[in-house]
Amino acid sequence: MDWWIVITLMAATAQTGRFVLQKRLKGTGLSTGGATFARFVYSAPLALLGMLAYSGASGQGVPGLSWSFWAYALAGGTAQILATMCVVALFSHRHFAVGITFKKTEVLMSVLVGLIVLGEGVSWLGLAAIVLGLIGVLLLSDPPGGEGAWLRRIANRAVGLGLASGVMFAVSGVGYRGASLSLETGDSFQRALVTLACVTAFQLVAMALWLAWRERGEITRVLAAWRVAGLVGLTSLIGSACWFTAFTLQTVAYVNAVGQIEVILSLMAGALIFGERISAREWQGVVLVGLSVLALVLVT
Tell me the average pLDDT of the chain.
81
The residue-averaged pLDDT of 90-103 equals: 66
pLDDT in tens, 135-176: 776 676 555 555 555 555 555 677 778 788 889 989 999 999
Cα 238–chain centre separation: 13
pLDDT at 269: 74
Question: By residue range, what is the domain housing residue 232?
Answer: 3-299
Angle between helical axes of 3-27 and 96-103 (0-180°, round to 10):
130
Q: From CA 199, how far away is CA 244, in angstroms rounded?
A: 11
Binning pLDDT at 50, 70 and 90, where does residue 191 land? Answer: very high
Give helix then strand counts, H and E, for the chain.
14, 0
Per-residue confidence (pLDDT) for residue 104, from 0 to 100:
67
- Residue type at position 179: A
Mean pLDDT of the 259-284 span: 73
Q: How far is CA 107 from the centre of its chain?
A: 10
Predicted pLDDT of residue 297: 67
Q: How far apart are CA 84 and CA 104, in angstroms?
A: 12
CA distance 169 to 84: 8
Count of structural domains within the chain: 1
Q: 222-243 pLDDT, tens per residue? A: 888 888 888 888 888 898 889 8
Tell me how far apart the alpha carbons of residues 13 and 78 are, in angstroms, rounded to a whole number: 23
Burial (CB < 10 A; 0-12, 13-18, 19+), residue 151, is exposed
pLDDT at 180 over 90: yes
pLDDT score recorded for residue 144: 53
SS3 state at 120: coil
* Residue 79 confidence (pLDDT): 94
Q: What's the angle, vertex CA 245, arms to CA 239 and CA 250, rounded to 5?
A: 120
